[in-house]
């Protein structure tokens, strides 16, 4: 065990720090859930790509830097430290990208990965349906073969970024006789295809962060299927593994929030009457630290050939509940100004805590609710009986 960065790692940190200092926009971008903000973030993705900082962990052959996981952690630490824009294409680069690398044909990799890496095509996710939420195997949207095409019919919901994205990766039922996990296929669909209607769904902040997508005789070529016909479930599970595992929620984000929370507490400490607040601030900081240490330990283990096991389900519970606790504590500190939007004249230093607080409410719900995660932990990690 050696918990010191190597000279190369320190040099890597300096390189990214310098690049970000020179390139991160001075003025924060608008929310990517607005038309204008989405385009601003698309430009930022292109800029990252030009600097070859868009996809540090991707292999070099796909336009990445081939960084190992510790380098990825360092990159993320610097990224959040520099307050660089959120990644508008995270569905693409963190979920679909690794899935394409594993299951895509050479033509699919060439076609989709290149444009994703260049920051040119933005992706939405289309899995959930009105009657297939936590019970994802209940998917009913259909893809029926017709010549060289699939004809798609049905409805997807809670599709993040679908309002402004270019493509959506979906799961459809290709075998009408099948049920549950069998007979599903993973299909990539351009969102401007005739027959598609995207109905924006405003989120808690009033912005259309996700959407319903209606498919009415939508035709896509067979080669838009990722993996074999009927293998959609397994591929989706692999994708969800990327989502739940390391890649989507790097510790740096929570450490940065924890650091801001300490600063917020210090700025208000003379006005705080609730003695438990300081304890919560310390607890938040420790838990963010614990999340970072655990991620580093996992990353180092994986670099030595270890595998991610069912214990990865504990990650999602830990970070989502930590995110809630941090923002709840910030709201308590901000007290009667906590409800104010930053645009209010009296907002003062409320900053983006309210945005973060609203977003934190979604953490325990998306990517498999925390109740589902607890079932997975109990059954697959601890071995408790299903029936």
Partner 1 sequence: MDFTFTEDQLLFAESIKDFLQNEVTPESIRESWDSETGRSQDLWNKMVELGLTGMLVPEAQGGLGMREIDFVLIAQECGRVALPEPIVDTAMVVTPLLKDLVDKDPRCVSLLEKVATGETKVAIGHAANDLVSDAHIADYLLLTQGHQIHLLAKADVDLEAQQSVDPSRKLFAVKWEANDETLLINGSDGVGLLAATLNRAAVGTAAQLLGLSEKMVEMTVQYTQDREQFGKPIGTNQALKHHMANCAVKNEFAKAVLHRAAYTVTEKPVHGDFAVSHAKLAAGEAANLAAKNSIQCYGAMGYTWECDLHIFMKRAWALDKFWGHSGFHKYRLHQWLMNPNAKIGAEMTFGEQA
Phi (first) and psi of residue 270, to 5 degrees: -75, -15
Residue 339 in the binding site for partner 1 (CB under 8 A): no
Q: Which residues contact 300 (CB under 8 A, 6 or more apart)?
A: 69, 70
Q: Supply the Cα-derived Rg of the chain in whole angstroms.
A: 22
Identify which of 121, 191, 201 has the alpha carbon closest to the alpha carbon of residue 157.
Answer: 201
Identify which of 273, 281, 370 has the alpha carbon closest to the alpha carbon of residue 325.
Answer: 281
Identify which of 250, 257, 248, 253 has the alpha carbon closest to the alpha carbon of residue 328.
Answer: 257
Residue 45 in the binding site for partner 1 (CB under 8 A): no
**52 burial level (CB within 10 Å; 0-12, 13-18, 19+):** middle
Phi (first) and psi of residue 5, to 5 degrees: -75, 150
- Given 204, 282, 335, 341, the residue binding partner 1 (CB under 8 A): 282
Nearer Cβ to partner 1, position 111 or 283? Answer: 283
**Of these residues, 76, 77, 212, 243, which one is catalytic?**
243
- Given 275, 304, 343, 346, the residue binding partner 1 (CB under 8 A): 304
User: What 3-state DSSP class applies to 381?
Assistant: helix
x/- binding map, residues 345-384, to partner 1, per CB under 8 A? --------------------------x-xxx-xxx-xxxx
Q: Which positions from 4 through 33 interact with partner 1, judged by CB under 8 A?
A: 4-6, 9-10, 13
User: What 3-state DSSP class applies to 18?
Assistant: helix
User: What 3-state DSSP class applies to 163?
Assistant: coil
- Given 318, 323, 329, 362, the residue binding partner 1 (CB under 8 A): 318
Number of residues this chain uses to bind partner 1 (CB under 8 A): 59
- Given 47, 81, 111, 181, the residue binding partner 1 (CB under 8 A): 81
- Given 178, 297, 344, 352, the residue binding partner 1 (CB under 8 A): 297
- Given 311, 335, 339, 349, the residue binding partner 1 (CB under 8 A): 311
Q: Which stretch binds partner 1 (CB under 8 A): 28-36, 287-295, 327-335, 342-350?
A: 287-295
Phi (first) and psi of residue 145, to 5 degrees: -65, 135
Question: In angstroms, rounded to a whole number, what is the distance separating the alpha carbons of residues 170 and 225?
Answer: 10
Is 256 known to be catalytic? no
User: What 3-state DSSP class applies to 304?
Assistant: coil
- Given 78, 212, 243, 323, the residue binding partner 1 (CB under 8 A): 78
Residue 337 in the binding site for partner 1 (CB under 8 A): no
Phi (first) and psi of residue 306, to 5 degrees: -70, 170
User: What residues are annotated to the active site?
Assistant: 243
Site for partner 1, rule CB under 8 A: 1-6, 9-10, 13, 70, 76-78, 80-81, 251-252, 255-256, 259, 262, 266, 278-279, 281-282, 285-287, 289-294, 296-297, 299-301, 304, 311, 314, 317-318, 371, 373-375, 377-379, 381-387
């Amino acid at each position: 065990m050696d918990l010191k960065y190597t000279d190369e790692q320190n040099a890597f940190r300096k390189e990214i720090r310098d690049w970000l200092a020179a390139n991160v926009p001075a003025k924060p971008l608008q929310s990517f859930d607005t038309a204008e903000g989405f385009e601003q973030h698309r430009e930022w993705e292109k800029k990252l790509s030009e600097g070859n900082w868009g996809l540090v962990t991707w292999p070099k052959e796909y336009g990445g830097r081939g960084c190992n996981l510790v380098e990825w952690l360092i990159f993320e630490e610097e990224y959040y430290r520099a307050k660089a824009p959120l990644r508008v294409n995270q569905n693409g680069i963190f979920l679909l990208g690794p899935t394409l690398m594993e299951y895509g044909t050479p033509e699919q990799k060439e076609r989709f990965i290149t444009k994703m890496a260049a920051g040119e095509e933005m992706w939405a996710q289309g899995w959930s349906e009105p009657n297939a939420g936590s019970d994802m195997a209940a998917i009913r949207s259909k893809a029926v073969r017709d010549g060289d095409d699939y004809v798609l019919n049905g409805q997807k919901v809670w599709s993040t970024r679908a309002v402004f994205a270019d493509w959506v990766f979906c799961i459809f039922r290709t075998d009408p006789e099948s049920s549950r996990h069998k007979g599903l296929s993973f299909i990539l669909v351009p969102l401007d295809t005739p027959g598609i209607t995207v109905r924006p769904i405003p989120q808690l902040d009033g912005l259309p962060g996700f959407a319903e997508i209606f498919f009415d005789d939508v035709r896509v070529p067979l080669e838009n299927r990722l993996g074999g016909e009927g293998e959609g479930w397994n591929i989706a599970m692999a994708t969800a593994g990327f989502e739940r595992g390391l890649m989507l929620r790097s510790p740096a984000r929570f450490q940065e929030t924890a650091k801001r929370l300490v600063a917020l507490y210090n700025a208000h400490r003379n006005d705080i009457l609730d003695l438990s607040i300081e304890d919560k601030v310390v607890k938040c900081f420790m838990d963010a630290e614990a999340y970072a240490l655990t991620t580093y330990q996992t990353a180092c283990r994986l670099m030595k050939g270890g595998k991610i096991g069912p214990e990865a389900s504990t990650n999602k519970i830990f970070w989502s509940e930590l995110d809630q606790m941090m923002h709840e504590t910030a709201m308590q500190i901000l007290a009667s100004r906590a409800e104010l939007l930053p645009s209010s004249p009296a907002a003062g230093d409320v900053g983006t805590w309210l945005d973060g607080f609203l977003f934190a409410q979604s953490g325990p719900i998306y990517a498999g609710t925390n109740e589902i995660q607890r079932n997975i932990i109990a059954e697959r990690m601890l071995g408790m009986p299903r029936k």
